[in-house]
Structure 1
Amino acid sequence: MSDSESTISPEPQRLLKIIVISDYICSFCYIGNKALHDAIEACSDLPIRFDVEFRPFTLMCASSPHLDTSEKRLNRNAYLAKKFGKEQAEAKWKVVTEMAQKAGLTMAEDGIVCRSIQAHRLSVKAYQVGGQEMQKELNSILFDACFAKGEDISDITFLADAAVKIGLMNREKALEFLKSTEAQDCVDKMIEAARANGVNGVPFIIIDGKWALNGVQPMECYLQIFRKLAGSSGSPTPSGMSRTCSDCKGPIVAPALSAQ
């Protein structure tokens, strides 16, 4: 038997598309992002590969009853106290902090609550230009700034610096982009489509077009799904995935199905 005949071809890897509907000012999205990527790293022995795409959702908007229309940002502790009352806010944030620490994440004692639309525009652009790796790098910068450092991620100088760090564009082009409306229509359509499909809380994760998970999930939950899908054949795409955005040419959102 020749060497070529004795060579065993590697098992083909199946591509799993994961759509994460998320907001960068959401602490549960910060925690959930870590759990998802920990699970992906733990799947190196499975015949699967991943394409993870973050899609926008906004928890803070101009109509928020806890945000004056003149305000674009405010202190997180003050915001939560106004929304829930001081004692309840402290109790809720203690739970979040404990969850983050368990996941190996750092949480600043306070932070900034702001409108995240500019960060979402930059994120969409990053995925369009550099795919999941560039967007993942930007996600890390945004989540770390918002929760580990308590910084204002709506500030365009901060976002321009982030764009330079990930190699998306130079500072001049980044500032030009952030002051424009480029990718705004794409972001708006994605948010509108998510809400139209019943997404009213984040993180909301769609795996392979047929598994939908709402809220923070433990790493083991993802691993169970990935192992199941690694052993199945084909990658059926529900009809709801065919709706596309005219800007990014990709599906806006998959249908919201219950986890199986």
Structure 2
Amino acid sequence: MSQPITIDIWSDIACPWCYIGKRNLEAGLAATASDEDAPQVDITFHSFELSPDTPVDFDGDEIDFLAGHKGMPREQVTQMLDNVTAVAAKAGLEYRFDLLKHTNTVKAHELLHHAKAAGLQHEMEERLMSAYFTEGKHVGRVDDLVELAVEVGLDAESTRAALESETHLPAVRQDQAQAQAYGIQGVPFFVLNGQYGISGAQPADTFTNVLRDLWAKRDGAGAGETAEAEEAATV
């Protein structure tokens, strides 16, 4: 049996486009599921902090943060959030920026590595993003993160111990170093088979087409075919 296509995703759970990109990838995969020879994939999430200097308890809402962090007029920030909310809705997500609690995400990234070790990374990624963007839950404090971890099946005691001791912080930093080595400056960023990059929350069709192309050429692709796949995947 052929090896699955590896998809390494650099993202931040506090990145609205990352959640949209995740949904679009899932839709792209769903579109290939009925193929006679459906692509097989192995997905891994990697840490990327968009705003590592953010305090755990930010005093203000998302408009306050973006207006202060990016120096944008509040009216422009509001328009930008309305736009991303509309795009999210098309992906089946109901963003609630009015409830969102902006926070530092390094502990959430540590939790994702803890969940990965238990085979629950995908479930934890989904739970964190849903909690942050649609439910207004705090995802920066240990107590709140432990509660979310238990919801996906992780042990509360071992999760708390891992977060308080920063067991997985080196893995977070390693992900960030790899992102820097790849030249990744924004997320989401998808690396397929360690060679082909897809930047941003691309439409589901983009993922469908790239996955089918790479899967069809997985065995004995010539140099020309490989170059063609790279061109198709780098967007």
TM-score, normalising length: structure 1: 0.78
**Corresponding residue number in structure 1 for 2:44:** 53
- Determine the C-alpha separation between the residues in 1 that align with 2:27 and 2:105: 25
Check if 1:107 corresponds to 2:95: yes
1:78 and 2:64 are equivalent in the alignment? yes
Does the CA contact (< 8 Å) of 2:10 and 2:189 recur in 1? yes
Q: Matches of residues 20-39 of structure 1 in structure 2 within 5 Å?
A: 20-39=9-28
Structure-2-length-normalised TM-score: 0.86
Name stretches of at least 5 consecutive residues in structure 2 with no aligned partner: 222-231
Query: Structure 2 counterpart of 1:192, which letter?
Result: A
Structure 1: tracts of 5 or more residues without a match = 1-11, 237-256
Q: Specify whether residues 61 and 209 from structure 1 end up closer, same or farther in structure 2 by C-alpha distance, changes over 3 A only.
A: same
CA contact (8 A) 2:20 2:88 kept: yes
- Counterparts of 1:149 and 1:77 in 2: how far apart (Å)? 17
The CA deviation at 1:235 is 8.7
Structure 1, residues 118-160: CA drift from partner, whole Å, max 9, x if none? 1111111222221xxx211111110111100122111212211
Let me know the Cα RMSD of the aligned residues. Answer: 2.0
What are the residue-to-residue correspondences of 1:23-172 with 2, within 5 Å? 23-44=12-33, 45=35, 46-62=37-53, 67=54, 71-74=55-58, 75-82=61-68, 83=70, 84-110=72-98, 111-130=100-119, 134-168=120-154, 170-172=155-157
Contact 1:108/1:148 (8 A) holds in 2: yes
Q: Distance in 2 between matches of 1:199 and 1:258?
A: 15
> Aligned to 1:218, which of 200, 203, 218?
203
Q: Name 1:259's counterpart in structure 2.
A: 234
Amino acid corresponding to residue 51 of structure 1 in structure 2: D
Give the Cα separation in 2 of the matches to 1:114 and 1:235: 47
Q: How far apart in 2 are the matches of 1:94 and 1:13? A: 44
Q: Is the CA contact (8 Å cut-off) linking 1:13 and 1:48 kept in structure 2?
A: no
Letter in 2 for 1:217: Q
Deviations 1:227-260 (A, max 9, x none): 1112113399xxxxxxxxxxxxxxxxxxxx9717
Number of residues of Structure 1 aligned to a counterpart in Structure 2: 218
Preserved CA contact (<8 Å) 1:13 1:47: no
CA drift of 1:167 comes to 2.1
Checking the alignment, whether the CA contact within 8 Å between 2:39 and 2:212 is kept in structure 1 is no
Residue in 1 that maps onto 2:4: 15
Q: AA paired with 1:210?
A: Q
Listed one character per residue, the Cα deviations across residues 154-179 of structure 1 (whole Å, up to 9, x for unaligned) are 121221122222223x2122211111
Q: Which residue of 1 aligns with 2:224?
A: none
1:171 and 1:126 map into 2 onto residues whose CA distance is 12
Deviation at 1:81, TM superposition (A): 2.5
Q: CA deviation at 1:13?
A: 5.0
d(CA) in 2 for partners of 1:185, 1:207? 24
Is the alpha carbon distance of 1:109 and 1:120 closer, same or farther for their aligned partners in structure 2, counting shifts above 3 Å? closer
